[in-house]
Chain A
Amino acid sequence: MQNFSYHAPATLGEACALMAEAPDRSRFLAGGSDLHLALEHHAGPVDTVIDLKRIAGLEGIEETPGGGWRIGALTRMAALERHQGLRAALPALCAAAAVVGGPPIRNRATLGGNLCNASPAADTATPLLAFGAQVEVSGGGVPGSNASRTLALEALWAGPRSTTLRPEEVLTAVVIPPPPTGGGANESTANESTAHGNAFARLTRSAMDIALVNAAASLTLDGSGRLASLTVALGAVGATVLSVPGTDALLGRPVDEALLEDIGKMAETAAQPITDVRASAEYRREMAGVMAMRAVGWAAAPAKGDTP
Chain B
Amino acid sequence: MTDSLDIVGQSVTRLELEDKVLGVTRYTADLKRPGMLYAKILRSPHPHARIVAIDTSAAEKAPGVHAVLTHHDVSSFAIEGDLLVLDARLRFVGDEVAAVAAESPAAAADALELIRVEYEPLPPVFDCGAALAPGAPELHPGGNLVDGRRLVVERGDTEGAFPTAFRVFEGVFHTAAHGPVGMETRSALAEWDDDRLTVHKTSRSLHAHDRKILSNALGIPLEHVRVICTSMGGGFGNKDEGRLGPLAAFLARKAGRPVRLEYSRMEEFIAGRNRQAMVSRLKIGVAEDGAPVAIEMRSEMNAGAHVASGRNVTRRIGQGALYLYACPNARFEGASVYTNHPAGGSFRGLGAPAGHFALEVLMDQVAAGMGLDPLEYRLRFHVGPEGQPGRRTTPPGEAIPDEPVEGGVPFSSHGLRECLLSGAERIGWRERRQPNGSATGPSRRGLGVAMGIYKGGVGREAQAEIHVDRRGRVEVRVGVVDVGQGSSTILAQIAAEALQLPLDFITMVMADTAHTPPGHITAGSSTTFSSGHAVKQAADTVRNRLRERAAATLGVSDVSLSGGVFTAQGREGAALTFHQLCAALPEPVIEQVTLTPGSTDRVINSFSAHFAEVEVEMDTGRIRILRYVAAQDAGRIVNPRLAEGQVTGAVLQFLGIALREELLMDPTSGVTLNPSFLEHKNTAIVDFPPVEVLFASQPEPLAPFGAKGLGEPPVVPVYAAVANAVANATGVWLHEAPFTPKRVLQAIAQQGADRP
B681 touches A290 (CB 8 A): no
B683 touches A206 (CB 8 A): yes
B678 contacts A by Cβ under 8 Å? yes
In this complex, what residue of B is CB-closest to A37?
A: B678
A287 contacts B by Cβ under 8 Å? yes
Flag A171-214 by CB within 8 Å of B: 1 or 0 each: 00000000000000000000000000000000101111110000
B742 touches A290 (CB 8 A): no
Pick the contact of A206: B664, B684, B742 (CB < 8 A). B684
Residues of B within 8 A of A208 (CB): 684, 686
A277 to B678, CA, bound (A): 10
A4 contacts B by Cβ under 8 Å? no
B742 touches A205 (CB 8 A): no
Min CB distance, B160 to chain A, in Å? Answer: 46
B679 touches A287 (CB 8 A): no
In this complex, what residue of A is CB-closest to B687?
A: A207
B674 contacts A by Cβ under 8 Å? yes
Residues of B within 8 A of A209 (CB): 681
Residues of A within 8 A of B620 (CB): 203, 287, 290
A283 contacts B by Cβ under 8 Å? yes
B226 contacts A by Cβ under 8 Å? no
Number of interface residues of B (CB under 8 A): 20
**Which of B620, B679, B683, B741 counts the most chain A CB atoms within 10 A?**
B620
A283 touches B745 (CB 8 A): yes
B684 touches A207 (CB 8 A): yes
A205 touches B745 (CB 8 A): no
Min CB distance, A202 to chain B, in Å? Answer: 11
Min CB distance, B388 to chain A, in Å? Answer: 41
A280 touches B742 (CB 8 A): yes
B673 touches A290 (CB 8 A): no
Min CB distance, B526 to chain A, in Å? Answer: 33
A198 to B371, CA, bound (A): 49
A279 contacts B by Cβ under 8 Å? yes
In this complex, what residue of B is CB-closest to A206?
A: B681
A278 contacts B by Cβ under 8 Å? yes
**Which of A206, A210, A278 counts the most chain B CB atoms within 10 A?**
A206
Residues of A within 8 A of B664 (CB): 277
Residues of A within 8 A of B684 (CB): 206-208
Flag A229-246 by CB within 8 Å of B: 1 or 0 each: 000000000000000000
B681 touches A205 (CB 8 A): yes
Number of interface residues of A (CB under 8 A): 15
A207 to B682, CA, bound (A): 10
| Residues 675 to 709 of chain B near chain A (Cβ within 8 Å) | 678-679, 681-684, 686-687
Residues of B within 8 A of A205 (CB): 660, 681, 740
B679 touches A278 (CB 8 A): yes
Residues of A within 8 A of B678 (CB): 210
Min CB distance, A48 to chain B, in Å? Answer: 19
| Residues 262 to 299 of chain A near chain B (Cβ within 8 Å) | 277-280, 283, 286-287, 290
In this complex, what residue of A is CB-closest to B676?
A: A41
Question: In the complex where A210-B678, A277-B674, A283-B742 touch, is A290 in contact with B619 (Cβ < 8 A)?
Answer: yes
A278 to B660, CA, bound (A): 10
Residues of B within 8 A of A280 (CB): 742
B619 touches A207 (CB 8 A): no
Residues of A within 8 A of B673 (CB): 277
| Residues 483 to 530 of chain B near chain A (Cβ within 8 Å) | none
A279 to B674, CA, bound (A): 12
A206 touches B660 (CB 8 A): yes
**Which of A210, A280, A283, A290 counts the most chain B CB atoms within 10 A?**
A283
Min CB distance, B315 to chain A, in Å? Answer: 32
Min CB distance, A45 to chain B, in Å? Answer: 14
Flag B589-631 by CB within 8 Å of A: 1 or 0 each: 0000000000000000000000000000001101000000000
In this complex, what residue of A is CB-closest to B619?
A: A290
Residues of A within 8 A of B681 (CB): 205-206, 209
A210 to B740, CA, bound (A): 16
Residues of A within 8 A of B679 (CB): 277-278
A287 to B621, CA, bound (A): 10
13 contacts between A and B (CB under 8 A): A205-B660, A205-B681, A206-B656, A206-B660, A206-B683, A207-B684, A207-B686, A208-B684, A277-B673, A277-B674, A283-B742, A283-B745, A290-B619
Q: Which residues of A come within 8 Å of B, CB atoms?
A: 203, 205-210, 277-280, 283, 286-287, 290
The 5 closest A-B pairs by CB, nearest first: A207-B686, A277-B674, A283-B742, A206-B681, A205-B681
Given contacts A207-B684, A277-B679, 14 further A-B contacts (CB under 8 A): A203-B620, A203-B741, A205-B740, A206-B656, A207-B686, A207-B687, A209-B681, A277-B673, A278-B679, A279-B742, A280-B742, A283-B745, A290-B619, A290-B620
